[in-house]
Every structure is written in C-alpha cells, then in structure tokens.
Amino acid sequence: MTSGLLSPFKKGNISIPNRVVMAPLTRRRATDNHIPTEIMADYYAQRATAGLIISEATAISPQAVGYSNIPGIWNQDQAEAWKKITLAVHQAGGHIFMQLWHVGRVSHSLLQPGKNLPVSASAIGINEMINTPEGHKKTETPRALETSEIPGIVKDYTDAARRAIDAGFDGVEIHGANAYLIDQFLHSSSNTRTDIYGGSIENRARFLFEVVESIIQEIGESKVGIRLSPSNTRYGMDDTDPAGLYGYVINKLNNYNLAYLHLVEPMLSLDEYPHMIRDVARFFRTVWKGALITAGNYDFEKGESAVNEGIADMVAYGRLYISNPDLPRRFAEAAPLTEPDTSTFYAGGERGFTDYPILPLV
C-alpha cells in the first residue's frame, strides 16, 4: 500500500505525485555575479522526483545579498540562466518553485552595493560572524529602512516574482522565515519602529502582506507560497507573543488562495524561550485552511506520521536531499540513505553537489 508521504497530493495549483518536498538549500554554486551555473541544472534535475522542489533562496536585488555565490533574480542574465534549470527539471518530470529572498541585516557592507550598510526594520545588530569577500567579519549594525523606501523593496519582490514565472518556475515561495528581512519586520526583538510598520502586530505584519498582495496581483495567488518560522531564535530573533503574532499572520493569510504555507519547526533549543511554540505545524494546523508543508529534521517515519496524522500535507527534506537525489525512491524501497558531506555544503563544484549516487535501475 502506498504510504501517506508517497501518495499523490492535489490542491489548488499543487498537483504532485508524492508529498516529499525538496526544501530550499543554499549551496553557493552561482557565479560571483550571482548568475546560476550549468551544474545547477544537473543538480535540480537529479532531484526532480520530489513532489515539489523549492529552489535555494534567491536574492531579489543586489541589496538582498548576504552571501557570496548565491543566485539572484534581479536581472535578465540571471533569469536566462534559470530558464535552463527549470527546463531541465520539467523535462525530468518535476515541479519547481523559486524562493524569493532578502536577507536584511544578515549581510555586511562588503557584500552590499556601494559598500553601504545592510538594511533592516530597525537599527539593531545581531553580533554574528559572517563570510565576506575579505574573510569572516563581525556583522554591522544595520540601517533602519526609511518608510519611503519600503514600497521600492515590495516592487523588488514583485519584479523578481515576474522574472521567476517568465523563467519557467511553477510558482514562487516568499521567504518570510529564518531571521531574514520579512522576519525582521515581524518580530518585536528586531522591529522597534514607530511608523506604520512598527508597534502593533498588525503594523509589524504590514510589510509581509504588502509583499504578498503585490506578488499576487502580478502572478496570481495560486502560484504563491510562503515560508514562516514562528519559533526561530537564530540571529537574535525573539518575540513577546509568538502565538499571537503568527496566529494573526496565518489567519489573515487564509484570505488568499495561496499554493501553500511552509512552516519551519524550531531548529535550536528553546530551553531559554519557554514562550516559544514547540510543535509549530501541529499548533497552527487548525488555524491554516490551505495546503501545509512542514520542515525540520524529518526522517521517513516522522514525515509519514505527520502526513497520516493530518499535521501537514507535505514534508520538506533538506540535508537528506543534498546526499540522496532519489529520496522518494529510497523511502519507497527502504533503501539505505547516503550521509551528506558537510564540508561541501557551500563549496563550489561537482563534489558533494552532483556526484551523490543514484540507485541503479533494476
């Protein structure tokens, strides 16, 4: 009998052969100018048996960059390179969404255009080390965005979404998670603004919903997913009322016929954060009315249980997809899983990228 995790799923714009999702995975194989490379087409095509591939986080503008050699989607050269990747995935029978990314304060002036300071909701630093073209440097205190600048960033997201669809992607995922710019606006620890984007939960969520609504107007709501991480504490993230904040956000997202909501389980210890939500997907399952993806250190058994118990409709796998291009087949056949080589996660080239073994055809 076909397992829940390996059964087909259809809802709205999502019609996929299984519920195994390839999570967005930064791999840093693009050029210095943030143009996707030929090897990336091989990498994604190898993994096209996923029910859905969500691309690595992709910068929407030069200001959105926080890491070297990550891909972008702000110019036509980048879009043309992505076309080869989406074609390869589709020819292999796969489905792929692009994750749209602005890192906000998780950057450094050495990675920013004109060596300007990174931007954020507020001028609050994170005291982390970050890799720059001149080696590891401590992050800087970001510049708070002016109210008048925010519509321009919303437009960057919207233009990036249009380029992604024109480049052949089946949809886009708005990256509202993991301590990046949208997340920085949402949380009380990183947003102390006094304008219409700060203060109340409604105001802190305003930027997110302006991005959502603008992209929907451009490409249609059924081609838009969103990723959120209500219990992420990395990079200084915290909130006085995470249940209230994300209850509001997720309930309001129900007003749109989105492709899916992608929720990340807590990845770090919450021992010092008793107010944070432990079981994120389970907690918000009754709030969210649409298709739900859960992510966070799942193996086959845990993913199968999440689907069969109705906690989520799909399960996203990260590290396992790095080293097991044919992950759904390995799950189906209870085949051994290859362990990933962590030293090659962010190193350029084929090793640890496209050279992991695929089960031979019988």
Q: Any idea which residues carry the catalytic annotation?
A: 180
Place of tokens 């992709």: 58
Helix (H, G, I), strand (E, B) or coil at 160: helix
Dihedral pair phi/psi, residue 316, rounded to 5°: -95, 135
Task: Render the burial of 98-125: b for 16+ CB within 10 Å, e for the rest.
Answer: bbbbbbbbbbbbebbeeeebbbbbbebe
**Residue of 199, 173, 272, 198 whose CA lies nearest to 231:** 272
**Distance (Å, rounded) from C-alpha 352 to C-alpha 339?**
11
Contact 122, 193 (CB under 8 A): yes
Q: Are strands 14-16 and 9-11 parallel, antiparallel or unpaired?
A: antiparallel
Report the alpha-carbon distance of residue 335 to residue 358 in Å, rounded: 11
Q: The tokens of 254 are what?
A: 């129900």
From the CB of residue 71, how many other CB atoms can be counted at a distance below 10 Å? 26
Nearest to 164 by CA among 79, 53, 237, 90: 79
Residue 221 structure tokens: 């709501």
**Residue 48 near residue 93 (C-beta atoms within 8 A):** yes
Residue 128 DSSP SS3:
coil
134: left (phi over 0), alpha (psi -120 to 50) or beta: alpha
Cα torsion 142, 62, 216, 185 to 10°: value is -10
